[in-house]
């Protein structure tokens, strides 16, 4: 199944929440990004896996390791670039502030958000789009 892309390079199957969640992974180490994707809901992970081309691959039942494909990294970068272009460089801080108070968030995901926020604040000069640098 072919998926059309928005001009920013974001698959049309992405909803705004998935776009934000993936943009947060821009500049992350592959293992951290893959672990964060593992925390996403099944529907979101399925969209990444069944996209054409696939944005992630998942190992078998014995070793369900998530690997982000080259196209997946491009989509992550496109999500971050799109948010910087449309919402400015402070989008990540606003996203964290909105979601840290959300009681419906799973505790594990809240911890992941807090860790990511801490990393971004301590490495704001890294040049990653998700940190707000252009």
Q: Per-residue pLDDT for 130 more than 60? A: no
Q: What is the pLDDT of residue 75?
A: 95
Enter the DSSP assignment of 53.
S
Between the alpha carbon of residue 60 and those of residues 57, 67, 100, the distances in Å are 10, 12, 33
Each residue's pLDDT tens digit, 91-127 = 877 777 777 666 555 565 666 666 666 666 665 555 5
Q: What is the pLDDT of residue 115?
A: 66
Enter the DSSP assignment of 41.
-
pTM of the model: 0.71
State the SS3 of 110-121: HHHHHHHHHHHH
Q: What is the pLDDT of residue 133?
A: 37
Each residue's pLDDT tens digit, 62-97 = 767 899 999 999 999 999 899 888 888 788 777 777
Each residue's pLDDT tens digit, 35-59 = 999 989 889 999 999 999 999 999 8
């Amino acid at each position: 199944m072919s998926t059309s892309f928005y001009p920013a390079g974001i698959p049309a199957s992405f909803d705004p929440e998935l776009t934000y969640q993936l943009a947060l992974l821009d500049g992350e180490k592959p293992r951290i990004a893959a672990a964060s994707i593992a925390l996403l809901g099944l529907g979101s992970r399925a969209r990444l896996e069944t996209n054409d081309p696939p944005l992630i691959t998942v190992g078998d039942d014995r070793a369900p390791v998530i690997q982000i494909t080259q196209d997946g990294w491009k989509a992550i970068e496109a999500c971050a670039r799109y948010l910087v272009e449309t919402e400015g460089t402070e989008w990540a801080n606003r996203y964290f502030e909105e979601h840290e108070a959300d009681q419906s968030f799973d505790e594990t995901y809240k911890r992941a958000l807090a860790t990511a926020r801490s990393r971004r604040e301590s490495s704001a000069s890294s040049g990653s789009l998700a940190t707000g640098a252009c």
